[in-house]
A and B are shown apart, each in its own frame.
Chain A
Amino acid sequence: MWGSDLLEQNPDFYKVMECPWTGEKVVCVRSLRPDYSIIHVQEADIYGNARILGPNYQDVLLSRASGHVILTTERIVGTYRMQEEPKLTAIPHILVDAVVELPGGAKHGICYPEYLTVDFDLHKEYQKAVKSGEVPKFAEKMLEGRL
């Protein structure tokens, strides 16, 4: 933080304080408390226990930092999957408010190992929709039959 403009640019976000033990000046960063985490996973059971296959990114931290979690999942699996390998449960049910079964929920992006490349035809369509302000129309097409 020292030497950057971040402290001056966001005074509501950063405060310089004195370390109570050493007297050293330290930068304190205000924590974010998200109302909801919106996380797409490969596997969840009906109670909201979720497994993430492949990289977690920061999703485990996000789920803990948020007040509530909404999961969309490629598929709903039996709870026995979690009981067989409890340590593979990335997000436990106690954090979760909603489980939505939504195969292809990360399209037109990537969801390992279900679909491994970006759908560039759709991505070009999305880029055009952003420019012309027609993203809701693109959304209607992508969500046809799902709402």
Chain B
Amino acid sequence: MHVLIVDDEQAFAAPLAERLSLRGLKAQAVTSAEQALASLADALPDIVFLDVHLAESDGISLLQSIRQHYPALDVIMLTGSTDMQTALRAMRYGAKNWLPKPISVDTLLEECVKAAQRQRQRAHEQHLAELDRLRSLGRIAEGVAHEVNNPLNIIMQAAGFIEDLLESPACRALPQHQAMAQAVSTMSRQSLRVRELTHSLLMVGLGLDPRTQPVDVPSVLHQTLALVAERAAQQQVIITEALAPALPRPLWANAELQQVARNLLENALDAMPQGGRLHIAASLCASPPTSMELEEEALPEHEPVHSYALTFTDTGCGIAPEQLPHIFEPFYTTRAHGQGLGLAVCRSLVQGCGGSIRAYSTLGKGCRMCLRLPLAPEAKPQKSPPSNAR
């Protein structure tokens, strides 16, 4: 989490920033409005603590210009006196809160946590809005494909019929036979092109479909893998898979599986800039955890006994033991860039469908992300599968 403190009292702001840094936050202190604006333009923090009294310009006008340029940024006002009027004005201009000085580090941290929660809420709302958009897109694609398929079906059948007729000896004797055969074969071929198109539209719908349903994991993963194939090739990462297409299907939304898989794949590629191996495997999970998992801890009780297990194992740099417990926390990142939201979103999506996600890693050797997903009710293994149903 990145914090910016704007206060003209260097003796107050600098030690505060230092103490926040000791607590693991990225904190910076500046003493003027110009410095503050320059810092904001350089890198956007997650929260700003702003003194209402700055030496050259007042904090309220800086607040106004921050609100104007960065409306999503949380600003907390620091007031030296118990000046209620100024505090109220600040709140009117969009400050999230005000804190009377002197201020303890714990109070600042509390505000940081609140800001993180608000940010998480915003990300969640954005995600929902995105899903909503995808839902309508998926429906349109599906609807178009179906509406086009029906007349196309009749056209292809009619063209096939003409082709059949042209095979008869009487038709073969016609002088224009060759031209007619060519024309009708063009109709058939072009119809096939349209069928390919409607088919891929339906596939788009599949990838975007946010409804919870039995998910065809291999086919969704193949679509997702296609998105990162180029990057993997550039980095000389070899991707192998054991996806067992015949497994019962887990109950999830295609769009969410795709989003989680994309995130995990990109993370794995991030961990292997010098090449490596990424293995994706699917299995049914009623058996005890594998040895790599046993190194960590026992699975919690609420873990579904009969579930779909999906693992992503890479041979990348791995995750340090002290970092491992935090990687699913929002805003936790070990990278210079990135918001630190990827895995947090993954976890909330996986938990949203009743599943779980865990990470196992040995530093310098690699990392394994394990997803456990609930099975679709009708997908439970049958006692005697019918021999003649295909």
Partners in one complex: no
